[in-house]
Amino acid sequence: MDNVYIISPSYLIKKKREFTAGIKQLSKLGFNVLNPHFPTVLPSPQEKAEQIHRACADSGADMILALRGGYSAMKSLPFIDFDHLKNHQKIIAGFSDLTALLNPIHERTGMVTLHAPMVASLKEPTAFTVGSFMNAVRGYPEKNLFQGAPVKVYRHGTAAGILKGGNLVTLTALINTDWEMETENSILFLEEIDEKLHKVDRALTQWILSGKLKGVKGIILGDFGGLKSREVYQVLASQMELNFPVVHCPHIGHVPDKITLPVGAEVELNTQKKQLVIRKLALPGVRS
């Protein structure tokens, strides 16, 4: 895992020094950035898709890493050639607004994608974030994704499923579209930032009323940007029977200490051990 190709599927980084700091950090970690040029023009939705196609077709690229999140990645979905991605498999990494791409790409190609820090969030990463990110790109030699992270249990149990999820509002926006996430037999992780409790409540209620949580095997609540995890849990518990394990891990989301999660991997959630363990994983180009 040597060469990184940067894409701009959401917003741009406004300050060049922040971009430069992220590139330097990638170099420090041993990566070679193939296109280290500061982007100043936001691509159109079709151009964003074409950028992803070029990155996948680049034989020298090992990982495709998003510049930053923000908004508008979902607009590129109608223009993405998923067969092209499947035939030119690369690790695709990002989080936040990139949730709109990570899950559909996995579901339509079978590739595992990474819910991971981006260039913007790598400018001053913590040791925990770096350790988790490097564990991921090395194929997850450490199988317990919760290793070194605090975990609070709201409902005990053990469950296995396909790890999916990401930003709540972004995923909610995809419901009832051609790219909505399949939740059957999933271990679902959700996080949010800068949203009031009533907006989080509204989004989760939509998931409940639309039946999106009926086939879920377990839920992991990440960080919700200042909201208490118990408040978010109560939104769920007050409206549905939670007959599966539910935990809170604050190292998922828009936080300094960030776990890099493999979207599409088969995992087991064990609340007694407070572990989330990879059972089956195949990262493009990486031996696990």
pLDDT tens-digit series, residues 22-61? 999 999 999 999 999 999 999 999 999 999 999 999 999 9
Statement to judge: residues 235 and 121 lie in one domain: no
Q: Which of 125, 142, 173 is the last residue of a domain?
A: 125
**Residue range 112-127, pLDDT digits in tens:** 999 999 999 999 999 9
In which domain, by residue range, is 226 found?
A: 152-280
Statement to judge: residues 59 and 24 lie in one domain: yes
Please tell me the predicted confidence (pLDDT) of residue 141: 97
Statement to judge: residues 176 and 108 lie in one domain: no
Statement to judge: residues 256 and 165 lie in one domain: yes
Residue 287 pLDDT exceeds 60: no
Statement to judge: residues 14 and 92 lie in one domain: yes
Please tell me the predicted confidence (pLDDT) of residue 286: 74
Closest CA to 205 of 170, 239, 255: 239
Q: Domain tally for the chain?
A: 2
Please tell me the predicted confidence (pLDDT) of residue 285: 79
Q: Which of 59, 90, 125 is the last residue of a domain?
A: 125
Mean of the pLDDT values across residues 57-68? 96
Instruction: Sheet containing 158-167: give its strands across.
Output: 152-155, 246-248, 218-221, 186-191, 158-167, 266-270, 275-280
Statement to judge: residues 176 and 260 lie in one domain: yes
| Cα separations in angstroms, 85 against 1, 7, 81, 90 | 18, 14, 7, 8
Please tell me the predicted confidence (pLDDT) of residue 238: 97
Statement to judge: residues 102 and 196 lie in one domain: no
Return the percent helix, strand and coil in the chain, to nearest 5: 35, 20, 45
* Residue 250 domain-assigned (yes or no): yes
Active-site positions read: 96, 191, 254
**Residue range 153-204, pLDDT digits in tens:** 999 999 999 999 999 999 999 999 999 999 999 999 999 999 999 999 999 9
Statement to judge: residues 262 and 187 lie in one domain: yes
* Residue 141 domain-assigned (yes or no): no
pTM: 0.97
Check the CA dihedral 111-162-144-233 and report its sign.
positive
